[in-house]
Amino acid sequence: MGVRTAFLALLLLTSPALAADEPKPVMSVDDKTIEASVVIAPALKAYPPLYERLLASGKREYDKARAGAAAERKATPELFSDGRKFFYKRTDRLRSAAGPYVSVVRNVDTYEGGAHPNHVVDTLLWESQTKRFMNIKPFFKEMADDGPTLQRLAHLIRVALAADKKARDIEVGDPDTDQWLSSVKPKITDIGGIALAPSTESGRSAGLIAYFSPYAVGPYVDGEFVVFVPYTAFSQMLSPQGAALFGGARPQGDDKND
């Protein structure tokens, strides 16, 4: 399977439909070893310090991917016979902005001649006033690993994942004992890539969106999973900072932006 064919097959399995108006890459190359690109949504230019960080990080990974492909071609030239080459694409897009908090969704798609391409989705949360990345811990009164808050959030996310699987006609067991869903644990690093959901109330968030790459909570063929948990399900656990942030409802049709 050619790299482009393999990559398109991956997208069909793991991602929403390709946007017809996807922005041009901020850097790209297509040579004998690799087709590589970095895309940063123009909307993120509204936050210059964030954009600069994303651009610098993107260049580092882009250069790393190119160097790795060049080294592999030198060491194992047969991998690049018949015009085959590596593939690397990183895309950062704005998911939401609520008050000073900006949620970014990052997709990284790669192919290095294996059985299939790889797709990884993750999120970043940026605080515009302090100009730094953060996590959701400040929004809750308590956020210790294995503590009551993360126990609650992990359970809610597993329940949402189970509902999504059932809607896709994928076999799933009890959300708290299912083998695949057991990877969602009450730890800040094990509940998925978390983004703030937009809200019908300006400057606020309607809840949390959790992103999972293929293999994270199901076999590769099941693709990516994205689930929403409304803030009303965890409102009693919010800190004053969180109570000021969350409110309203998720706008109708917002799930199409996942």
Q: 3-134 is classed in which CATH architecture?
A: 2-Layer Sandwich (3.30)
All residues at 6 or more sequence positions from 81 whose CB lies less than 8 Å from its CB, including other chains: none
User: Given this model, what pLDDT does residue 210 score?
Assistant: 98
The torsion angles phi and psi of 142, rounded to 5 degrees, stand at -140, 140
User: Given this model, what pLDDT does residue 16 score?
Assistant: 44
Residues 186-203 have a mean pLDDT of 98
CA 173, chain centre distance (Å): 25
The owner of tokens 């989705």 is 121
Nearest to 84 by CA among 11, 35, 118: 35
CATH topology for the 137-257 domain: Actin; Chain A, domain 4 (3.90.640)
Per-residue pLDDT tens for 40-74? 999 999 999 999 999 999 999 999 999 999 999 99
Q: Do residues 39 and 91 touch, judged by C-beta distance below 8 A?
A: yes
CA angle, 218 as apex, 213 and 221 as ends, to 5°? 80
User: Given this model, what pLDDT does residue 204 score?
Assistant: 98
All residues at 6 or more sequence positions from 194 whose CB lies less than 8 Å from its CB, including other chains: 123, 125, 135, 136, 208, 209, 210, 211
Nearest to 233 by CA among 149, 176, 162: 149
Please give the helix or strand (H or E) that residue 9 lies within, else none.
Answer: helix 3-14
Per-residue pLDDT tens for 221-258? 999 999 999 999 999 999 999 999 999 999 999 999 99
Domain with CATH 3.90.640.20 in the chain: 137-257
Q: Is a pLDDT exceeding 80 seen at residue 105? A: yes
- What is the pTM for the complete model shown? 0.91
DSSP state of 248: S
Q: How many residues in the chain?
A: 258
Q: What percent of the chain has pLDDT over 70?
A: 92
Which of 21-25, 189-193, 202-206 is predicted with the least confidence, judged by mean pLDDT?
21-25
The CA distance from 239 to 17, in Å, is 37
Q: Is a pLDDT exceeding 90 seen at residue 5? A: no
The CA distance from 170 to 43, in Å, is 36
Residues 181-196 have a mean pLDDT of 98
Domain with CATH 3.30.565.40 in the chain: 3-134
